[in-house]
């Protein structure tokens, strides 16, 4: 039996095409992937991301617990701020990537990928027990719904519902409030599309009303619901990594290009020694952006070859036809000596080698 | 959606129609709808000999790659060149202008084993 979010009936009403996404029955698209993608870029899109996992950490050791588990520096956060961080294995490969929301030094919300909820919770619980941290660590995933409102008109739409001045809510900051329609929520200026926007958390029971209200209020701004298909192409165009693609237990955090969220000046965190060693020895491979130079579509697991020597040098971790750029783009891992921008490579597609090039990322930048 | 009566249909959602000794082949409305925005079509070289049910190419949407299976054996005599510059034609007019290829059949009686429009319509209904 597939799990359903509290918005399942909304997706059916909107004729969403439901698929099995890591055990969740969610819409891959409503009207069409490309249409939803472009509308989010040009106007605004609404996403059900209630499948994401939420953990609550509460108690006097909450900060220490998270700081010793995760790679980024939790101590740099102020209350009301969010931070992107990583959970690593001792060998420096990835358990998950996640967001940490700080309420106070004694209370945090941790948001993880849907397909990793159980794994992450077990892994962090075991670390929590071993360290005898004085804090509660709870999996509250089943009681949180999450709706993402993304696009240049997001603030104008949500402002109609918010009691606060959203122009003052900075990127990667959040606040709690009861919205004008009576829904207690967490409003966070974050997202996974490269557009301005918000992620709004509320209790399951309020999710359908919040979803319907946002669609109504967004009507004058051409809002459209977006499925998982558009969520994936939007994030890929701005080079946001995705667990199971760019990130996995076979890829270390440094080769993924996530050194900026690894704080080696912290006394300890899981994976520190291994990552330090990897850093000192130099990276064997790197995550790069790739553009196909001929018709076709790059896909995950396609092999990458050197154009000059025909040697196999890596693999594609994510690929698509970019709806914004109308050309096929992808992310992939190549041996470090081939990772320079402008390097000519070829991608094996159904036994044929197709020309491609390593290009700068993000592939798309917003212009407002 | 109505499926043309004169066409024959496969379980893999191709259509085929015989006219003047030549079989024209395409994908069905249901196939394009299930795939979503089609962004690429790879078609066989003219002159290639295909066996019944042999893979002759692929169509790709943003999300997925889908193999194409020949509903008839024979020689490829023409492919639809407009699809290389305009693959979205497959979403707009799958039963007409977005035909994939024309084949000179080795044994056109193979088409008799395929579904007619009514059978295919029921088959598509049964998948929902």
Task: Give, as one character, the DSSP assignment of residue A52.
Answer: S
Q: Which residue does chain B place closest to A326, by CA atoms? A: B39
Q: State chain B's maximal CA–CA distance in angstroms.
A: 38
Chain B environment of A33 (Cβ under 8 Å): 36-37, 61-63
Q: pLDDT per residue over B46-74, tens digit each?
A: 999 999 999 999 999 999 999 999 999 99
Q: Do the chains contact at A29 and B36, CB–CB below 8 Å?
A: yes
Residues whose CB falls within 8 Å of the CB of residue A114, separated by 6 or more in sequence, listed in order: A21, A22, A24, A51, A52, A53
Percent of chain A whose predicted confidence (pLDDT) is above 90 = 99
Q: Are the Cβ atoms of B42 and A350 closer than 8 angstroms?
A: yes
For the segment A285-307, the average pLDDT, to the nearest whole number, is 98
- Considering only CA atoms, which of A98, A33, A35 is closest in space to residue A232? A33
> How close is the nearest chain B Cα to the Cα of A60, in Å?
46
Mean pLDDT of chain B: 96
Checking if the pLDDT of B1 tops 80, the result is: no
Q: Do B36 and A299 touch (CB under 8 A)?
A: no
Report yes or no: B73 and B107 within 8 Å, Cβ to Cβ.
Answer: yes
- CA dihedral for A80, A86, A87, A92, sign (positive or negative): negative
Rg (CA), chain A: 21
> Pairing state of beta strands A285-292 and A328-335?
antiparallel
pLDDT computed for residue B128 by the predictor: 79
Round to whole Å and give the CA distance between B32 and B38: 7
CB pairs under 8 A between A and B: 37
Cα–Cα distance measured from residue A12 to residue A342, given in angstroms and rounded to the nearest whole number: 45
**Chain segment A215-252, per-residue pLDDT in tens:** 999 999 999 999 999 999 999 999 999 999 999 999 99
pLDDT of residue A244: 97
pTM score of the predicted model:
0.96
Contact between residue B28 and residue B13 where contact means Cβ atoms under 8 Å apart = yes
| Mean local confidence (pLDDT), A89-97 | 98
* pLDDT single digits (tens) B25-47: 999 999 999 999 999 999 999 99
Instruction: List chain B residues with CB under 8 Å of A34.
Output: 37, 62
Q: What is the pLDDT of residue A159?
A: 98
- Beta-carbon separation of B42 and A296 below 8 A: yes
Give the bridge partners for B79, in sequence order. B101
DSSP H or E stretch at residue A349:
strand A344-349
Contact status, residue A194 vs residue A235, Cβ threshold 8 Å: yes
Phi/psi at A169 (5° precision): -90, 110
- The CA R_g of chain B, rounded to the nearest whole Å, is 13
Angle at A317 between CA A366 and CA A290, to 5 degrees: 55
- Within 8 A by CB and 6+ apart from A19, the residues are A25, A26, A27, A28, A228
ipTM: 0.90
Residues of A whose CB is below 8 A from B40: 295-297, 321
If you search the block for the tokens 């490969």, which residue do you land on? A93
**Chain B contact residues (CB < 8 Å to A):** 36-37, 39-40, 42, 58, 60-63, 65, 84
**Separation CA A190–CA A52 (nearest Å):** 14
Optimal mutation site among B32, B36, B86, interface A, most CBs of chain A within 10 A:
B36
Q: Are A21 and A43 in contact (CB under 8 A)?
A: no
Nearest to B36 among A33, A295, A299 (CB): A33
Instruction: Give the chain B residue nearest A228 (alpha carbons).
Output: B63
* The two three-digit tokens of residue B60, written as one number: 């790709």
């Amino acid at each position: 039996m597939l799990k359903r979010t509290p918005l399942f009936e909304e997706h059916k009403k909107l004729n969403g095409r439901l698929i099995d996404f890591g055990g969740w029955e969610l819409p891959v698209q409503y009207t069409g992937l490309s249409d939803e993608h472009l509308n989010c870029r040009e106007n605004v899109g609404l996403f059900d991301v209630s499948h994401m996992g939420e953990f609550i950490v509460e108690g006097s050791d909450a900060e220490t617990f998270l700081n010793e588990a995760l790679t980024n520096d939790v101590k740099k956060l102020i209350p009301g701020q969010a931070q992107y961080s990583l959970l690593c294995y001792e060998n420096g490969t990835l358990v998950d990537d996640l967001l940490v929301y700080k309420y106070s030094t004694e209370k945090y919300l941790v948001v993880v990928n849907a397909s990793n909820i159980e794994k992450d919770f077990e892994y962090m619980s075991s670390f929590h027990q071993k360290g005898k941290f004085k804090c509660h660590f709870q999996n509250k995933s089943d009681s949180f719904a999450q709706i993402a409102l993304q696009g240049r008109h997001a603030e104008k739409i949500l402002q109609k519902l918010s009691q606060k001045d959203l122009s003052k809510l900075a990127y990667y900051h959040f606040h709690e409030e009861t919205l004008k329609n009576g829904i207690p929520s967490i409003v966070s200026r974050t997202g996974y599309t490269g557009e301005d926007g918000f992620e709004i958390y509320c209790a399951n029971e309020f999710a359908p009303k919040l979803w319907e209200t946002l669609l109504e209020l967004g009507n004058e701004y051409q809002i459209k619901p977006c499925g998982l298909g558009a969520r994936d192409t939007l994030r890929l165009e701005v080079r946001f990594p995705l667990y199971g693609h760019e990130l996995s237990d076979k890829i270390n955090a440094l080769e993924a290009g996530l050194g900026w969220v690894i704080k080696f000046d912290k006394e300890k965190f899981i994976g520190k020694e291994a990552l330090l060693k990897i850093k000192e020895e130099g990276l064997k491979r790197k995550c790069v952006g790739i553009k196909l130079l001929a018709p076709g579509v790059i896909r995950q697991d396609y092999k990458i070859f050197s154009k000059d020597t025909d040697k196999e040098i890596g693999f594609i971790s994510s690929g698509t036809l970019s709806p914004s750029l109308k050309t096929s783009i992808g992310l992939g891992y190549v041996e470090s000596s081939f990772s320079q921008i402008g390097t000519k490579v070829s991608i094996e597609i159904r036994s044929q080698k197709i020309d491609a090039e390593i290009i700068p990322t993000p592939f798309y930048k917003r212009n407002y | 959606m109505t499926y043309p009566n004169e066409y024959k249909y496969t379980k893999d959602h191709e259509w085929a129609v015989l006219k003047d000794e030549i079989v024209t082949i395409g994908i069905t409305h249901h196939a394009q709808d299930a795939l979503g925005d089609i962004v690429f079509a790879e078609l066989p070289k003219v002159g290639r000999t295909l066996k019944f049910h042999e893979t002759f190419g692929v169509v790709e949407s943003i999300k997925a790659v889908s193999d194409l299976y020949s509903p008839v054996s024979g020689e490829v005599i023409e492919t639809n060149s407009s699809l290389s510059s305009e693959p979205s034609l497959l979403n707009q007019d799958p039963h007409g202008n977005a035909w994939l290829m024309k084949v000179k059949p080795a044994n056109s009686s193979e088409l008799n084993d395929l579904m007619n429009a009514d059978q295919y319509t029921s088959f598509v209904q049964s998948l929902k």
